[in-house]
Structure 1
Amino acid sequence: MHIYFLQHAPHLGPARMADWLTSMGHSFNCCRLDNDEVPPQLSSFDALIVLGASEQIAPHGWMKREQRLIERTLNSSKPILGIGFGAELIAEALGAIVSPNTRPEFGWQQLRGNPDGDIDLPERFEAFLWHRRVFGLPEGAVSIGASDASPLQGFSWDGARVLAMLCHLEATQQWARALIEHDSERLPAPGSGVQSVDEMLADERRFALQAALLDRVMIDWLRL
């Protein structure tokens, strides 16, 4: 399969997903929306991944083009996956409301998988989060899980052809370090749901364990 990434910031690339796709024999391209690259045509890819964005993403001319491509992909039979900001865009396109969360989540958090969901996630697992906003469950969607601060951590739709996740399973330690350096001035003070920078980066094994979760999710998502 040929996958297209929609990228919104230079420090928020595909990270571990690029390695996974290559190892599984898939090809991919990145559309750098932050460099004003034009989004691809629907016919240019077999599956679409909409990546995250910096917290204070400013309005850009490419946003409407991106929204149109997401809507066209949703209306097709092609898989589409959104992470963080990308998940918000998919949720909005499916009619859900995106709003500020009462409690932000930054760093490693404990999540509860949905045992009745379409995605093979454990009953409990740890994942890297970086968000202040949440969204509702679109009509016909199935929750993938929850955390103490966010009753909905994402959803699947149309038999998991469409997947939206707040958790950044693609994160590597290098990716997380670049994100922290870029957004350090806007990080909330450590507390409930927010780790210190040292805690986020202290144990590289966390990223390795999360890689196994990414493997499970990607296999489920692309099984169609």
Structure 2
Amino acid sequence: MHIYFLQHASHFGPARLADWLTSMGHSFNVCRLHSDEVPPRPGDFDALIVLGGPEQVVTHGWAKREQHLIERTLKSSKPMMGLGYGAELIAASLGAIVSPNTQGEFGWQSIRGNEVGDLDLPARFEAFLWHRRIFGLPEGAVSIGASEASPLQGFTWDGARVVAMHCHLEATPDWVRALTELEAHSLTTPGPWVQSRDEMLRDSRRFAQQAAILDRVMIDWLRL
């Protein structure tokens, strides 16, 4: 399959997702929206992944084109995934309300997986989160699970053809280092679910364990 990434900032790249796709024999392209690259047409890809972005995304002139592409992909039969800000865009396109959360989640958080959901997720797992917004469950969608701070960490829609999650399963140590350097202001507001940069990077086993979750999600998503 040929996958297209929609990227909103240089430090919110595909990271481990690119390695996974290559290892499984898939090809991909990256549309760098933050560099004003023109979004692809639906005929240019077999599946679409909408990546995350900063708390304040500078959209310029590409926001409407991106939203139009997301809406067209939802109406098609092609798989689509959204992570972080990308998940919020998909939720909004499906009619859900996206709003600020009372607390931000920055770092590793425990997720209670939905055991009767569409994805092969454990009953409880750790995931890397970087968000201060939440969204409602769109009509016809199924929750993937919740954290202590957020009752909805993501959802599937139309089976598992569409996956939207705040979990950044693509995170690698280098990705987190760049993120915490360029988005350090997000960590200045203390809270029970805000970790320090050192704490995020202290245990490399977390990244390996999350990589296994990513593998399960990607297989479920692309099996369609």
TM-score by length of 2: 0.98
Could you list the structure 1 runs, at least 4 aligned residues long, displaced by more than 6 angstroms after superposition: none
Q: What one-letter code is carried by the residue in structure 1 that aligns with 2:223?
A: R
| Cα distance in structure 2, aligned partners of 1:11 and 1:63 | 19
**Secondary structure of the corresponding residue to residue 121 of structure 1:** coil
Unaligned runs of 5+ in 1: none
**Secondary structure of the corresponding residue to residue 60 of structure 1:** coil
Q: Which residue of 2 aligns with 1:133?
A: 133
| Equivalence map 1:147-186=2 (5 Å) | 147-186=147-186
| Equivalence map 1:57-136=2 (5 Å) | 57-136=57-136
| Cα distance in structure 2, aligned partners of 1:112 and 1:160 | 18
| Conserved? CA contact 2:187–2:195, under 8 Å | no
| Conserved? CA contact 1:4–1:28, under 8 Å | yes
| Conserved? CA contact 2:119–2:160, under 8 Å | yes
| Cα distance in structure 1, aligned partners of 2:188 and 2:155 | 26
| Cα distance in structure 1, aligned partners of 2:20 and 2:129 | 20
Q: Which residue of 2 aligns with 1:43?
A: 43
How many residue pairs get aligned? The number is 224
| Conserved? CA contact 2:113–2:146, under 8 Å | yes
Q: Cα deviations across residues 113-145 of structure 1 (Å, max 9, x unaligned)? A: 001100011000000000000000000000000
**Secondary structure of the corresponding residue to residue 119 of structure 1:** coil
Deviation at 1:191, TM superposition (A): 3.4
| Cα distance in structure 1, aligned partners of 2:53 and 2:163 | 17
Deviation at 1:186, TM superposition (A): 3.0
Deviation at 1:197, TM superposition (A): 1.3
Q: Which residue of 2 aligns with 1:217?
A: 217
RMSD, aligned CA:
0.8
| Conserved? CA contact 2:144–2:153, under 8 Å | yes
| Cα distance in structure 2, aligned partners of 1:136 and 1:207 | 28
| Cα distance in structure 1, aligned partners of 2:60 and 2:85 | 14
| Cα distance in structure 2, aligned partners of 1:52 and 1:190 | 22
| Cα distance in structure 2, aligned partners of 1:206 and 1:65 | 36
Q: Which residue of 1 aligns with 2:142?
A: 142
**Secondary structure of the corresponding residue to residue 183 of structure 2:** helix
TM-score by length of 1: 0.98
Deviation at 1:87, TM superposition (A): 0.1
| Conserved? CA contact 2:34–2:59, under 8 Å | no
Residue 53, structure 1, aligned to residue 53, structure 2: yes
Q: Which residue of 2 aligns with 1:30?
A: 30
| Cα distance in structure 2, aligned partners of 1:64 and 1:165 | 22
Q: Cα deviations across residues 130-171 of structure 1 (Å, max 9, x unaligned)? A: 000000000000000000000000000000100000010000
| Conserved? CA contact 1:52–1:83, under 8 Å | yes
Deviation at 1:59, TM superposition (A): 3.4
| Conserved? CA contact 2:108–2:128, under 8 Å | yes
**Percent identity between the two aligned chains:** 75
| Conserved? CA contact 2:104–2:191, under 8 Å | no
Deviation at 1:190, TM superposition (A): 4.0
Residue 9, structure 1, aligned to residue 6, structure 2: no
**Secondary structure of the corresponding residue to residue 128 of structure 1:** strand
Q: Which residue of 2 aligns with 1:194?
A: 194
| Conserved? CA contact 2:98–2:135, under 8 Å | yes
| Conserved? CA contact 1:121–1:216, under 8 Å | yes
Q: What one-letter code is carried by the residue in structure 1 that aligns with 2:210?
A: Q
| Cα distance in structure 1, aligned partners of 2:84 and 2:59 | 17
